[in-house]
Chains A and B, each alone.
Chain A
Amino acid sequence: MSRGSGGGYDRHITIFSPEGRLFQVEYAFKAVKAAGITSIGVRGKDSVCVVTQKKVPDKLLDESSVSHLFPVTKYLGLLATGMTADSRSLVTQARNEAAEFRFQYGYEMPADILAKWIADKSQVYTQHAYMRPLGVVAMVLGMDEERGPLLYKCDPAGHFYGHKATSAGMKEQEAINFLEKKMKENPAFTYDETVQTAISALQSVLQEDFKATEIEVGVVRADNPIFRSLETEEIEEHLTAISERD
């Protein structure tokens, strides 16, 4: 019954490996990449925009049910990259939590508090053997009354940070390199610039030009803090603006 140095279980449950790593958490990150989707989020001066690929694997599928962009409350959005079933579970719990927050405290749950809650929950799965970490990277976006536009990213390890721009999924690192160059001088993007930066980042990293039906775009902005998914026509306009600009 001696477990020695984990007895080989350090790959199956979240206990430490001899190098002090948690293999299950690292594998969860790999699961996010294996989903084959890349997502991008950009925070502008008074708006936040998130973009993700919309891959419909079968023409017979109803595309409206294939979505990774979820409203958590009227004002908070969540973009889940990774395993679909885990995303749905996370979103359901997040919606419940946000509703209870509103009831308990009398004001809308801010984006950073929701991000912290998601991250703390993810941490529990990294410390308790009975549940595996979720294979989801969640980007939370919302307009904060005091601090303006907020974009937070939460990962399976339980980390969460506020971001000026970020990415998740298969081409995460390439996208972050692209965005670092764009955001280096701390530009203050307008709403249109924010959306177009996000979309063109995705296009550049995946090296393909999209049709409006192949991507999903979610925004919150100061003049309309309600989280919403852009319609196909609006995405068309932005795509046209990008191609004319180049």
Chain B
Amino acid sequence: MESDHVMMMRTTASFRTSANSFYKKSKATSFVSLPSSLLDPYIGGFFEVSLKVQMGDSQYSFSLTTFSPSGKLVQIEHALTAVGSGQTSLGIKASNGVVIATEKKLPSILVDEASVQKIQNLTPNIGVVYSGMGPDFRVLVRKSRKQAEQYLRLYKEPIPVTQLVRETATVMQEFTQSGGVRPFGVSLLVAGYDDKGPQLYQVDPSGSYFSWKASAMGKNVSNAKTFLEKRYTEDMELDDAIHTAILTLKEGFEGEISSKNIEIGKIGADKVFRVLTPAEIDDYLAEVE
């Protein structure tokens, strides 16, 4: 049993060049493979937790995401299932901007919907929406924001969209390979506008990402994508895209669509990503009727 354990650690060991990993060349080799992002002391309180992580999860210095006999990483597949049961979200890239939108179905009317914001800024010119597990999304937003700030501090210019997407995807991949952690149960749609123009990326729990002209995720993904395929045109303008986004959400919407149960974020040539206010959403809804 013990030799099995050691064998497993050897085969799944992730060699990290950062100071976080250490190994002893003795009979009982012990690798501590942690995602290097975990040990960022970005919040005082959390740093205490991550110190405990170094001690506490040495029993888990093997990956929980391992290959099945058929060559699949089943934990990632299950993570995608979790995403697929999340609320629908979508994004459309127009010729002069990007729009992302999501359903905002709250568990009860007692919840104060103003306290919930599913679409978040990562930088002033990059926004993100998710389908899947909200708490996992918050973690990724926090890490991405920090990475964007570190880039800005180092290079004195805002991070390009592709770079931020790649770094976020790297974090997600680390959690599919590192010891004692599970993959993130979210897929992200990242919308940004930089020197290369408007861009839309989708990042999956596996850490793979693609650039999309229009995409959807979550419960109603197949209907939404079919609808988008029909309606998408290369020369769409941002306002048309917003109307199309609303119509796509409406397709699979259970109940009455209103400014209280959807959220829309957009970025135009002004390179400022912002979430629309309920009043603005009402205007667009009226135009769509």
Interface residues of A (CB under 8 A from B): 1-6, 9, 13-22, 43, 93, 96-97, 100, 104, 112, 116-117, 119-124, 126-131, 152, 157-159, 161-166, 176, 179-180, 183-184
Contact = CB atoms under 8 A, between A and B. Distances in A.
Contacts of A93: 45
Given A123-B136, A129-B182, A176-B108, A16 B75 contact: yes
A122 B180 CA distance: 16
Given A123-B136, A131-B56, A183-B110, A20 B185 contact: yes
A28 to B, nearest CB: 13
A145 B82 CA distance: 39
Nearest to A100: B44
B64 A13 contact: yes
Contacts of B134: 158-159
A4 B68 contact: yes
B181 interface: yes
Given A19-B81, A129-B57, A130-B60, A4 B74 contact: yes
5 contacts: A5-B74, A6-B75, A20-B78, A123-B135, A166-B111
A129 B110 contact: no
Contacts of A104: 44
Contacts of B69: 2, 4
B78 A180 contact: no
B36 interface: no
Given A2-B68, A183-B110, A16 B115 contact: no
A180 B183 contact: no
A128 B180 contact: yes
Contact of B4 (A1, A14, A112): A1
B115 A20 contact: no
Given A128-B57, A131-B56, 19 more contacts: A2-B66, A3-B68, A17-B78, A18-B74, A19-B78, A20-B78, A20-B185, A22-B185, A104-B44, A112-B115, A120-B135, A120-B139, A127-B184, A128-B181, A158-B133, A158-B135, A162-B114, A162-B116, A183-B109
Contacts of A2: 66-69
Nearest to B175: A127
B59 interface: yes
A189 to B, nearest CB: 13
B115 A161 contact: yes
Contacts of B78: 5-6, 15-20
Contacts of B82: 16, 20-21
Nearest to B38: A128
Contacts of B180: 128-130
Interface in B31-45: 43-45
Contacts of B112: 43, 161-164
Query: Which applies to chain A's interface (DSSP): helix, strand, loop or mixed?
Result: mixed
Closest 6 pairs between A and B when the two form their complex, measured CB to CB:
A158-B135, A162-B115, A20-B81, A20-B82, A16-B78, A130-B57
A157 B135 contact: yes
B45 A18 contact: no
A215 to B, nearest CB: 21
B165 interface: no
A4 B8 CA distance: 15
Contacts of A180: 108-110
A224 to B, nearest CB: 23
Contact of B64 (A15, A119, A152, A183): A15
B252 to A, nearest CB: 19
Interface in B97-146: 106-112, 114-116, 133-136, 138-139, 142
B175 A130 contact: no
Given A2-B69, A119-B138, A15 B75 contact: yes
Contacts of A9: 64
B234 to A, nearest CB: 35
B80 A127 contact: no
A38 B278 CA distance: 35
B111 A161 contact: yes
A203 B78 CA distance: 42
B64 A117 contact: no
B53 to A, nearest CB: 7
A128 B66 CA distance: 16
A159 B134 CA distance: 7
A6 B180 CA distance: 13
B84 to A, nearest CB: 7
